[in-house]
Chain A
Amino acid sequence: MTSNLFQLSDEGKQKVLAELKRYESRQSAVLPALYIGQKENKGHITSDVIKELSRVMDIPESQINEVFTFYTMYNKQKIGKYHVQVCRTLSCMLNGAEDLTNHLCKELNVKLNEVTADGRFTVSEAECLGSCGTAPMMQIADKYYENLTPESAMNILRGMK
């Protein structure tokens, strides 16, 4: 192991401990704890994050790991500061989602799921985000941007600090 072990901040640790008490079963805290770990590790989860959560929660690593790998909102690899997720499913496809994704990748000079050279953006495709009436759309962090055109989407990215 060459990397530094990941450690939760005191605040993060308190949040995880609170989640352990929040539900009828301690195991239910695994999903929220993974979000806390991901946030503190710049948006993705590594084996060190799993180890730390296992230690703090006293839940075996294997049990946390199988949850981590099952769900798409836990990132398995490094992402840019802004994770731009363009919905690709049918209603968005019918409204030009693919052109939108291609335009963003071209303008940012990056392939899908890769991080831009300046570390700011990762563009990926997501399955139906429940915004079909306002297609095409993208999600950046927790926010939805709807009724986009390739140009308006790129302008939104340009406006990100």
Chain B
Amino acid sequence: MAATETKYLTEFYHLPEFKGLDGYKKNGGYKELEKALKMQPQAIIDEVKASGLRGRGGAGFATGMKWSFLPKNNEPRFLLCNADEGEPGTFKDRMMMEKAPHQLIEGMIISAFAINCKKSYIYVRGEYDDSINALTQAIQEAYKAGYLGKNILGSGFDHDMDVYRGAGAYICGEETGMISSLEGLKGQPKLKPPFPAIQGYLKKPTIVNNVETLAVVKYVIRDGAAHYKKFGTEKSAGTKLFSLSGNVVKPGNYEVPLAFPMKDMIYGLGGGFKAGRKLKAVIPGGSSAPVLTAEESERATLDYENLAQMGTMLGSGAIIVIDDSNCMVQCLANLTHFYHHESCGQCTPCREGTGWLDKIVHSILSGKGRPQDIELLIKVADNMKGKTICALSDAAALPVLSFVTKFRDEFEYFVREGKSKVKGTAFAPKGDAHVGH
């Protein structure tokens, strides 16, 4: 049987009109806002809790639970939508914002009503100009139609929404880094506790949720938690957008129920490989997720529990597929360069560790690796885990540990022979190729 998508959130994404207010309304838009404004806010929170919805940005934390950490008083609070999509391999939020900006906005207003919040921001990565324009226009339309502003649809509920443009920093996808950035500062993460729900943006209670997470809220209200839970498994409920990229024939965003077989994603929806190539490895949840071998990938299912059991994670749902024409040392070097570039520099283990990982992997890649470098990589990576304010350090260490452990023969061959086992050559260092860093 051919693998097919389950178009739940993305049902109308093929319609260009779904982007504008009229087309959105014609296809069920803002109906759930009307419904939600007549509900008790706590009932909305309870429904989201019951739905089992978990954060779609990467950490997979229970959304309703996160909301319930807010103080139970009338202190002003903020809702921030994390649209700083930067995890390598991830491009689903961009599609959602470009094709269905009102879907996100409606989900946000419902969420804001549930948590008694009068002001929200959508923090969009600076490069996503089309997303920023789509959202800016949609917010204007929503104000005109009375979905934003004072006394929304006569409910007595007021809410304002604005877009904030990031400026190129992966770390701002970390929720407290994002808060720092929105405050007009360097995007450096803050020490937790206090968690943002208690003390976030401008030291006020703040909820940070991913684009996809907030959009789902509308559908939980529309169909109820019980219906939403029919997709996926007990602990991984719902559908999820997966960004499939790398060496597959048909890369793209695909919406499937959680626990969808990885094999069907790669060979079915993804169309498999070019003639003569075969599967070598998969990074299942964005570049921070430990890599899986071909054999592991073919028995994996796309849900939080199964991937955790396999020692990796679902993350943002970004599946990067690597075929057998690629050198794993070269792939890892690409990632160590990324993390070194993106470390915010605040914590020493990360600032220094990402630099050393990158230096050592590139030394191997240039054919100058020493036999002890492989153990050194493992040692440095081990020393970076769990020692810093945020998860970037772990995110840099985990790929290294998994690549070196699972594809050790390629690293050993490179060190021994001074060239890639797959490509037959070494790679000359290019130096830092970034403007300004």
Interface pick from A8-16, A139-147, A152-160: A139-147
Q: Kindly identify which residue among A24, A70, A133 contacts B243, using a CB–CB cutoff of 8 Å.
A: A133
* Chain B min CB distance to A134 (Å): 7
* Structural contact, A143 and B129, CB atoms closer than 8 A: yes
Those of A106-145 within 8 Å (CB) of chain B: 112-113, 122, 124-135, 139, 142-144
Bound CA–CA A135/B108 (angstroms): 31
Q: Does B412 contact A (CB under 8 A)?
A: no
Q: Does B322 contact A (CB under 8 A)?
A: yes
Bound CA–CA A28/B435 (angstroms): 25
Q: Does A5 contact B (CB under 8 A)?
A: no
* Structural contact, B91 and A131, CB atoms closer than 8 A: yes
Which residues on B sit within 8 Å (CB–CB) of A130? 85-86, 90-91, 93-94, 125, 127-128
Query: If the complex has contacts A73-B167, A132-B89, are A89 and B287 also in contact, measured as CB distance less than 8 A?
Result: yes
Which residues on B sit within 8 Å (CB–CB) of A76? 435-436
Bound CA–CA A106/B342 (angstroms): 28
Bound CA–CA A76/B326 (angstroms): 35
* Chain B min CB distance to A39 (Å): 13
Q: Kindly identify which residue among A67, A70, A74, A90 contacts B88, using a CB–CB cutoff of 8 Å.
A: A90
Q: Counting chain B CB atoms within 10 Å of each CB, which of A32, A93, A127 scores highest? A: A127
- C-beta contact mask, B397-437 vs A, less than 8 Å → 1, else 0? 00000000000000000000000000000000000011111
Bound CA–CA A70/B246 (angstroms): 30
Q: Does B253 contact A (CB under 8 A)?
A: yes
* Structural contact, B252 and A133, CB atoms closer than 8 A: yes
Q: Does B247 contact A (CB under 8 A)?
A: yes
Bound CA–CA A79/B434 (angstroms): 12
Bound CA–CA A144/B91 (angstroms): 13
Query: If the complex has contacts A28-B182, A70-B186, are A133 and B253 also in contact, measured as CB distance less than 8 A?
Result: yes
* Structural contact, B435 and A94, CB atoms closer than 8 A: no
Taking CB as reference atom, which chain A residue is nearest B172? A71
* Chain B min CB distance to A150 (Å): 17
Which residues on B sit within 8 Å (CB–CB) of A129? 127
Which residues on B sit within 8 Å (CB–CB) of A125? 433-434
Which residues on A sit within 8 Å (CB–CB) of B126? 71, 73
* Structural contact, B186 and A66, CB atoms closer than 8 A: yes
* Chain B min CB distance to A30 (Å): 4
- C-beta contact mask, B134-174 vs A, less than 8 Å → 1, else 0? 00000000000000000000000000001011111110000
Q: Does B341 contact A (CB under 8 A)?
A: yes
Q: Does B219 contact A (CB under 8 A)?
A: no
Q: Does A104 contact B (CB under 8 A)?
A: no
- C-beta contact mask, A81-113 vs B, less than 8 Å → 1, else 0? 000000011110111000000000000000011
* Structural contact, B129 and A133, CB atoms closer than 8 A: no
Which residues on B sit within 8 Å (CB–CB) of A77? 435-436
* Structural contact, B435 and A90, CB atoms closer than 8 A: no
Bound CA–CA A151/B337 (angstroms): 27
Bound CA–CA A30/B87 (angstroms): 25
Which residues on A sit within 8 Å (CB–CB) of B245? 91, 94, 132-133, 135
* Structural contact, A79 and B435, CB atoms closer than 8 A: yes
Q: Does A22 contact B (CB under 8 A)?
A: yes
Query: If the complex has contacts A70-B169, A91-B245, are A113 and B326 also in contact, measured as CB distance less than 8 A?
Result: no
* Structural contact, B435 and A91, CB atoms closer than 8 A: no
Q: Does B356 contact A (CB under 8 A)?
A: no
Q: Does A18 contact B (CB under 8 A)?
A: no
Q: Does B338 contact A (CB under 8 A)?
A: yes
Q: Does A72 contact B (CB under 8 A)?
A: yes
* Chain A min CB distance to B265 (Å): 13
Which residues on B sit within 8 Å (CB–CB) of A27? 183-185
* Chain A min CB distance to B378 (Å): 21
Q: Does A50 contact B (CB under 8 A)?
A: no
Bound CA–CA A133/B90 (angstroms): 9
Q: Does A49 contact B (CB under 8 A)?
A: no
* Chain B min CB distance to A3 (Å): 19
